[in-house]
A = this chain, B = another copy of it.
Amino acid sequence: MKLTILGCYSATPRTFTNPTSQVLEVKNHLFLIDCGEGTQVQLRKFKVKFSRINHIFISHLHGDHFFGLPGLVSTFRLLGRERELHIYGPKGIKEAITLFLKLGDSWTNFPLIFHELKSKESELIFDDDVVSVSTIPLNHRVYTNGFLFKEKPVPRRLNINAVDEFDIETSQFKAIKNGADGVQKNGTVVPNQKLTDAPPKPKSYAFCSDTMYNEAILPLITNADTLYHESTFLQSEERLCEKTKHSTARQAAKIAKKAQVGNLILGHYSTRYKSIESFREEALEVFPKVELADDGKTFEI
């Protein structure tokens, strides 16, 4: 998995900081997560081949997470897109986007398919051979979901040196890849495990923004390889979290620690802070593996 941060600052877009949007590459998929104003320009700036985006996941309907969506959908139309585009987001998103297109008398020439969410329980919203996506219900001022992206386990890989050493015929390779043991010319059976290597562990990525500190998400994100958790504030402004339903860097780190994730990426910084380095320092006091999101930064998961 490869994660590209297009924007990771809260509230209003500014000259050099952008509201929330991320691209997650998982095998052949390019998933867009949230779409603040200016996302399409960020996609161009960081040279993302955005015609490859077929699935867009919107966490909630605050402007800094979806006001770039009408423009992106319109741009897909102008670029002559024909492939289906799937949009997953809170109930109401379909009415909003279709109204904007209708007013401009510019309906899309590609199928635009909305998957409106309203469940307060986690649900599986995308599933194919290589990856599944399920919602992570969050606690924010409006109905909000995070998203858990999980790679599917892949078969063990044929070990070319081993099949050569045991002198296994090529005609058996397909069966061995599918789990069969090998058979040598003299009839000796060679166990599958000797002829194949364990595949890389399937990766998982949990996106959790916006939310206040919420231990209810722990069962869903436990052992995730990477957790992106919002940290709008530092502990010095913790008093603002209850009213705004946001988290501090320390709270994000507490969630990361309790969920025993591989590493934590912080983002959705309030623009009141001069430097974002303090977010890392605060989180490191609680959890050892902390990264800072920043616009244009990429992470290998």
Q: A62 on the interface (CB 8 Å rule)? A: yes
Chain A contacts with B in 193-219, Cβ cutoff 8 A? none
Interface size on A, residues (CB 8 A): 36
Copies of this protein, total: 2
The CA-CA distance from A70 to B100 in the complex, in Å, is 11
Q: A15 on the interface (CB 8 Å rule)? A: yes
Identify A92's interface contact among B63, B78, B79, B103, CB under 8 A.
B103
A41 near B14 with CB under 8 A, answer yes
A15 near B44 with CB under 8 A, answer yes
Residue of B at shortest CB range from A79?
A: B12
With contacts A40-B13, A44-B15 taken as known, whether A71 is within 8 angstroms of B61 at the C-beta atoms is no
B78 near A11 with CB under 8 A, answer yes
Contacts of A67 in B (CB 8 A): 70-71, 74, 100
Q: A14-B41, A63-B100, A103-B142 are in contact. List 16 more A-B contacts (CB 8 A).
A: A11-B78, A12-B74, A12-B75, A12-B78, A13-B71, A15-B45, A37-B38, A38-B41, A62-B104, A62-B106, A63-B71, A67-B74, A92-B103, A93-B103, A96-B103, A105-B142
